[in-house]
Amino acid sequence: MNEQTPTVTMEKIVSLSRRRGFVFPSSEIYGGLSGCWDYGPLGIELKRNVKQAWWNAMVQQRDDMVGIETSILMHPKVWIASGHLKNFTDPLVECKSCNQRFRADHLTEKKCPACGGELTAERQFNLMFKTFIGPVEDVSNTIYLRPETAQGMFVNFDNVLQTTRRKLPFGIAQQGKSFRNEITTGNFIFRSREFEQMEMEYFVKPGTDEKWFEYWLNERINWYVKHGIKREHLSVLEHEKAKLAHYAKRVCDITFLYPMGWEEIEGVASRTDFDLKQHAAASGKVLDYYDDETKEHYVPYVIEPAVGVDRSLLAFMCDAYAEEPDKEETRIVMRFHPSLAPVKVAILPLSKKENLSNFARDIYKNLRTTLATQYDDTQSIGRRYRRQDEIGTPYCVTVDFQSLEDNRVTVRERDLMLQIRIPIAELKRTIEAKMAGEDFLKLPPGGEVVQTKVKEG
């Protein structure tokens, strides 16, 4: 495990999230609800972008993948067959003095961390939330909020196979809410009771599972790096065989250097044929695969990369966060990858005069048809740049009186704070090209590099 010092504190991330409207405590006016969070106007854009980046890489850009969306409420027999009713537990201890409850495996000492009191013996606590289906609150009507999205893929294995005529190896992917009645929550959105997952079940021929396990571990690490996570902030932690989850043959956590230290961001698991066999036995349905080439029926093995949206979003925020000295103040800048940035472009007219406003608004309306764009004409240009830096907007476009005459605008890039002046007719295409990785100083026809920076203070 890499020993490194986290580059940002959780206080700074929480404070920026609160201040700029990324994440709020759930039901805050009532004092909040422990382990639940609400995404604000910028947070939801960031979250949608994280989900889209995953969906694009895992489903849309691949021939061997399909997506589905299954319901949160599932037949209670699902959770008996999957083993969750029996095994999806954490060890719980309670303080005999203050009655607070803790996860035994998270404690470093055998006494209450709150008051020092004596603790009860460990007991296993099932993390699934229970509710009733229909109007009668009877035990026979008990159902559960799903604790993982994965079972939706397993119970639909045959539906997908029959309707898409897939050949192995192929995967089924899904994103959606999961719920766990965690004994202790904390570290902001890292561990909550309601969260979102992005999971993929990759069905392979038994015997090829080890090769595919390595493949997916690498793919997933590369995905984080491609979207802005520093490679040195990622690590792999192999689970000890004796501590594997009830369904797993091999599990590796991809860990990230969060402000509180190295913690799991994603799990990659080799689930063998456990789930399909369990559901086949419990439902009486055949859940196997006919191999055209070898003329045999068999139950595929499964490799599963499973990640929490909220947990990966927190990692993207941590690695984007930077502070730089800036005259007497500090410039806080979120260096989000452009594909994840909640706002891609800000249009900043240098005056509120009507002729310039109308002109700038037309540019804004044109850009926002395909790019998340903000219009901001309040306060000094320097303050507006800082506001956009703090929410991670990669490009700011200043519109000045000269623009009315030469039909050109100045584009300023967030990280290096370099500026180019380009024709408005080239603006959208140029920004899209830069977002896709083109060198910022590569100019479109009629463009020039602005040598003297527009005064930012």
- Tell me how far CA of residue 289 lies from CA of 247, 275, 334, in angstroms: 20, 14, 47
Q: Smallest gap, in angstroms, from Cβ of residue 215 to ligand GAP?
A: 18
# of chain residues touching ligand GAP (CB under 6 A): 19
The residue within the footprint of ligand GAP, chosen from 92, 183, 268, 307 (CB under 6 A), is 307
The residue within the footprint of ligand GAP, chosen from 199, 275, 288, 389 (CB under 6 A), is 199
Query: Which stretch of DSSP H or E encloses residue 304?
Result: strand 301-308
CB 275 within 8 A of CB 151: yes
List, in order, residues 6 or more apart from 65 with CB less than 8 Å away.
Answer: 58, 59, 170, 171, 172, 173, 200
CB nearer to ligand GAP: pick between 180 and 421:
180
Query: Which stretch of DSSP H or E encloses residue 53?
Result: helix 41-55
Of 20-28, 159-167, 190-198, 443-451, the window that binds ligand GAP (rule: CB under 6 A) is 190-198
Q: Smallest gap, in angstroms, from Cβ of residue 36 to ligand GAP?
A: 10
Q: Smallest gap, in angstroms, from Cβ of residue 261 to ligand GAP?
A: 16
List, in order, residues 6 or more apart from 187 with CB less than 8 Å away.
Answer: 10, 258, 259, 260, 263
CB 377 within 8 A of CB 305: no
Of 40-48, 116-124, 210-218, 308-316, the window that binds ligand GAP (rule: CB under 6 A) is 308-316
Query: What tokens were used for 284?
Result: 């009486």
Binding mask 162-181 for ligand GAP (x = CB under 6 A): ------------------x-
Residue indicated by tokens 């703090």: 390
The residue within the footprint of ligand GAP, chosen from 47, 191, 220, 412 (CB under 6 A), is 191
CB nearer to ligand GAP: pick between 156 and 366:
156
The residue within the footprint of ligand GAP, chosen from 53, 92, 119, 150 (CB under 6 A), is 150
- Tell me how far CA of residue 146 lies from CA of 72, 176, 201, 208, in angstroms: 6, 10, 16, 30
CB nearer to ligand GAP: pick between 229 and 347:
229
Q: What angle do CA 225, 180, 284 make, to 5 degrees?
A: 100
Q: Does residue 195 belong to the site contacting ligand GAP (CB under 6 A)?
A: yes
Rounded-to-10 torsion of CA 400, 401, 402, 408: 50
Q: What span, in angstroms and rounded, lies between the C-alpha atoms of 308 and 34? A: 18
Of 207-215, 299-307, 328-336, 369-377, the window that binds ligand GAP (rule: CB under 6 A) is 299-307
Of 12-20, 98-106, 138-146, 304-312, the window that binds ligand GAP (rule: CB under 6 A) is 304-312
Of 187-195, 225-233, 369-377, 397-405, the window that binds ligand GAP (rule: CB under 6 A) is 187-195
Q: Smallest gap, in angstroms, from Cβ of residue 193 to ligand GAP?
A: 7
Q: What angle do CA 63, 66, 71 make, to 5 degrees?
A: 175
The residue within the footprint of ligand GAP, chosen from 146, 311, 386, 434 (CB under 6 A), is 311
The residue within the footprint of ligand GAP, chosen from 192, 388, 393, 398 (CB under 6 A), is 192
**Angle of helix 41-55 versus helix 309-320 axis, rounded to 10:** 110
Residue indicated by tokens 């409207």: 21
Type of residue at 355:
N
CB nearer to ligand GAP: pick between 246 and 429:
246
CB 94 within 8 A of CB 120: yes
Residue indicated by tokens 């690590």: 235
Q: Smallest gap, in angstroms, from Cβ of residue 179 to ligand GAP?
A: 9
Q: Does residue 310 belong to the site contacting ligand GAP (CB under 6 A)?
A: yes
Q: Smallest gap, in angstroms, from Cβ of residue 94 to ligand GAP?
A: 20
CB nearer to ligand GAP: pick between 1 and 115:
1
Q: Smallest gap, in angstroms, from Cβ of residue 306 to ligand GAP?
A: 4
Q: Does residue 148 belong to the site contacting ligand GAP (CB under 6 A)?
A: yes
CB nearer to ligand GAP: pick between 157 and 195:
195
CB nearer to ligand GAP: pick between 169 and 267:
267
Q: What span, in angstroms and rounded, lies between the C-alpha atoms of 218 and 212? A: 10
Binding mask 246-275 for ligand GAP (x = CB under 6 A): ------------------xxxx--------
Type of residue at 104:
A
CB nearer to ligand GAP: pick between 97 and 184:
184
DSSP for 59-108, written as a single string: IIT-SSEEE----SB--HHHHHHTSHHHH-EEEEEEBTTT--EEEGGG-S
Q: Using CB under 6 A as the criterion, which residues of the chain lie in contact with ligand GAP when the complex forms?
A: 148, 150, 180, 182, 191-192, 195, 197, 199, 264-267, 304, 306-308, 310-311
